[in-house]
Amino acid sequence: MQTHRVLEKPLLTEKSTQMQAEGNWVSFRVNPNANKIEIKQAVESIFDVHVLRVNTSVVRGQWKRFGRSLGQSASWKKAMVQLKEGDKIELFEGA
Protein backbone atom coordinates (compact mmCIF):
# COMPACT_ATOMS: atom_id res chain seq x y z
CA MET A 1 0.00 0.00 0.00
CA GLN A 2 1.25 3.50 -0.78
CA THR A 3 2.54 5.47 2.20
CA HIS A 4 0.30 8.50 1.74
CA ARG A 5 -2.84 6.31 1.63
CA VAL A 6 -2.23 4.54 4.96
CA LEU A 7 -2.89 7.48 7.31
CA GLU A 8 -6.25 9.15 6.77
CA LYS A 9 -6.30 11.79 9.52
CA PRO A 10 -5.12 12.38 13.09
CA LEU A 11 -7.58 11.86 15.93
CA LEU A 12 -7.78 14.96 18.10
CA THR A 13 -9.90 13.90 21.03
CA GLU A 14 -9.57 14.66 24.72
CA LYS A 15 -8.27 11.18 25.43
CA SER A 16 -5.73 11.22 22.59
CA THR A 17 -4.28 14.58 23.64
CA GLN A 18 -3.97 13.30 27.21
CA MET A 19 -2.18 10.17 25.96
CA GLN A 20 0.17 12.34 23.90
CA ALA A 21 1.12 14.40 26.96
CA GLU A 22 1.56 11.44 29.33
CA GLY A 23 3.06 8.62 27.30
CA ASN A 24 4.10 10.11 23.94
CA TRP A 25 1.24 8.32 22.08
CA VAL A 26 -0.37 9.70 18.91
CA SER A 27 -3.69 8.46 17.44
CA PHE A 28 -4.62 8.25 13.78
CA ARG A 29 -7.57 7.10 11.70
CA VAL A 30 -6.03 4.69 9.20
CA ASN A 31 -7.01 2.70 6.14
CA PRO A 32 -8.90 -0.45 7.23
CA ASN A 33 -6.64 -2.63 5.05
CA ALA A 34 -3.38 -1.30 6.56
CA ASN A 35 -1.43 -3.50 8.94
CA LYS A 36 0.88 -2.49 11.82
CA ILE A 37 4.05 -2.66 9.73
CA GLU A 38 2.63 -0.37 7.05
CA ILE A 39 1.38 2.08 9.69
CA LYS A 40 4.79 2.19 11.36
CA GLN A 41 6.59 2.79 8.06
CA ALA A 42 4.11 5.52 7.06
CA VAL A 43 4.44 7.44 10.34
CA GLU A 44 8.24 7.19 10.30
CA SER A 45 8.55 8.37 6.70
CA ILE A 46 5.96 11.18 6.83
CA PHE A 47 6.82 12.70 10.22
CA ASP A 48 10.53 11.67 10.48
CA VAL A 49 10.19 10.10 13.95
CA HIS A 50 10.98 6.69 15.48
CA VAL A 51 8.02 4.45 16.36
CA LEU A 52 8.31 2.04 19.28
CA ARG A 53 4.88 0.39 19.24
CA VAL A 54 1.66 0.36 17.19
CA ASN A 55 -1.71 -0.69 18.62
CA THR A 56 -4.72 -0.99 16.32
CA SER A 57 -8.43 -1.44 16.86
CA VAL A 58 -11.49 -1.55 14.65
CA VAL A 59 -14.24 0.86 15.72
CA ARG A 60 -17.54 -0.71 14.77
CA GLY A 61 -20.26 1.39 13.16
CA GLN A 62 -23.17 2.43 15.32
CA TRP A 63 -26.78 1.63 14.54
CA LYS A 64 -28.86 4.74 13.89
CA ARG A 65 -32.59 5.08 13.56
CA PHE A 66 -34.14 7.16 10.78
CA GLY A 67 -37.87 7.17 11.42
CA ARG A 68 -39.02 3.58 10.93
CA SER A 69 -35.87 2.37 9.24
CA LEU A 70 -32.47 1.45 10.67
CA GLY A 71 -29.09 2.33 9.26
CA GLN A 72 -25.52 1.75 10.33
CA SER A 73 -22.56 4.13 10.15
CA ALA A 74 -19.38 2.77 8.61
CA SER A 75 -16.75 0.94 10.65
CA TRP A 76 -13.23 2.39 10.71
CA LYS A 77 -9.77 1.53 12.00
CA LYS A 78 -7.86 3.40 14.69
CA ALA A 79 -4.11 3.21 15.32
CA MET A 80 -2.32 4.37 18.46
CA VAL A 81 1.39 4.92 17.84
CA GLN A 82 3.99 5.25 20.62
CA LEU A 83 6.94 7.44 19.71
CA LYS A 84 10.51 7.24 20.96
CA GLU A 85 11.28 9.51 23.92
CA GLY A 86 12.22 12.95 22.60
CA ASP A 87 10.34 12.59 19.29
CA LYS A 88 7.23 14.69 18.82
CA ILE A 89 4.52 15.20 16.22
CA GLU A 90 2.88 18.64 16.13
CA LEU A 91 -0.67 17.88 15.02
CA PHE A 92 -1.93 21.42 15.47
CA GLU A 93 -0.15 24.73 15.87
CA GLY A 94 -1.77 27.22 18.17
CA ALA A 95 -1.15 30.55 19.80
Could you tell me the residue ranges of all domains in the chain?
3-64+71-83
Q: Which residues of 2-37 are buried (b: 16+ CB within 10 A; e: fewer)?
A: eeeebbeeebeeeebeebbeeebbbbbebbeebeee
CATH of domain 3-64+71-83: 3.30.70.330
Query: Rounded to 5 degrees, what angle do the CA atoms 69, 74, 78 make?
Result: 150
The 10s digit of each residue's pLDDT in 11-44 is 999 999 899 888 899 999 999 999 999 999 999 9
Q: What is the mean pLDDT of the chain?
A: 92
